[in-house]
Amino acid sequence: MASGFHSVAAQLDTAGAKLASLVLVVDDDPDMRSSLTDLFLSVGLDTRVFASTSEFLGYSLPDRPSCLVLDLRLPGSSGLQLQAVLGEQGVPIPIIFITGHADVLTSVRAMKAGALDFLPKPFRDQELLDAVNDALRRDAKRRVGDRELGKIRGLAEQLTPREIDVLRGVGRGLLSKQIAYELGISEITVKMHRSSAGRKLNAISVADMIRKIELLGL
């Protein structure tokens, strides 16, 4: 590539990163939906809007850094209920509440349940944008870690039950001899499983192997 393109490439990169992020909005007020869409689009953030929690739940989340801007009071089930449902389902999307009818008890409950922010209307555009950017940053960071873990878990699926038994011993710092005794098999067989497991996990060193064993929660 010609060196003259460096700054252009950097700009494209930044734009690409922003486009990769997605803001989900759930609000029953059509005016709010459209003004929020405008707001987010104006700073280059991709946006999807929903009028109710059920509409949102019918939408399958794409694999992109994203966050949820959620109105508290909604027809049907409330924003808090949606937060609870997402929590039960283990959906880790960061949530920012917005509401016109704020009270302390509700805000505290939402925050204790893990909301990232809670903005009473009216709020300044910049407040919401700051919160959204923070949320997107966190989600992106979480995704990096999750992907790493997912890769290792994928490799771990190749492991046979016996190999897992052996790895558990390795993680506890036992010698092959001791693992053999515990499992009632010979030392050489333990070594086989051990090295076979190491190959499957792509463990390039003992340290690496132990880290991966810990990550897998063995």
121 near DNA, rule: CB under 7 A: no
DSSP three-state, residue 209: helix
Q: Which of 163, 167, 201, 213 binds DNA (CB under 7 A)?
A: 163
Q: Which of 101, 195, 202, 214 binds DNA (CB under 7 A)?
A: 195
User: What are the DSSP calls for 91-141, one per residue?
Assistant: ----EEEEESS--HHHHHHHHHTT-SEEEESS--HHHHHHHHHHHHHHHHH
- Beta carbon of residue 25, minimum distance to its own copies (angstroms, whole number): 20
C-alpha–C-alpha distance, residues 88 and 2, integer Å: 51
Strand partners, 25: 49, 69
Q: Could you give the string, one character per residue 189-218, with x where binding to its own copies holds by CB under 8 A and - elsewhere? A: ---------------xxxxx-xx--x----
Record the tokens describing residue 215, joined without a space. Answer: 């990550």
199 near DNA, rule: CB under 7 A: yes
Contacts (Cβ under 8 Å, ≥6 apart) of 157: none
Contacted by 186, from DNA, its own copies, none: CB < 5 to 8 Å by type:
DNA
- How many CA atoms within 13 Å lie on the side-chain side of 74? 28
CB 113 within 8 A of CB 83: yes
C-alpha–C-alpha distance, residues 41 and 35, integer Å: 10
172 near DNA, rule: CB under 7 A: no
Record the tokens describing residue 208, joined without a space. Answer: 């690496």
DSSP three-state, residue 69: strand
For DNA, give the closer residue by CB, 78 or 181: 181
Q: Which of 13, 108, 147, 148 binds its own copies (CB under 8 A)?
A: 108
Contacted by 129, from its own copies, DNA, none: CB < 5 to 8 Å by type:
none
Q: Which of 18, 137, 138, 162 binds DNA (CB under 7 A)?
A: 162
For DNA, give the closer residue by CB, 34 or 195: 195
- Beta carbon of residue 153, minimum distance to DNA (angstroms, whole number): 16
Contact region with its own copies (CB under 8 A), list: 52-60, 77-85, 135-143, 165-173: 165-173
- Beta carbon of residue 27, minimum distance to DNA (angstroms, whole number): 50
Residues near DNA (CB under 7 A) are 160-163, 175-177, 183, 185-189, 191-195, 198-199, 206, 209
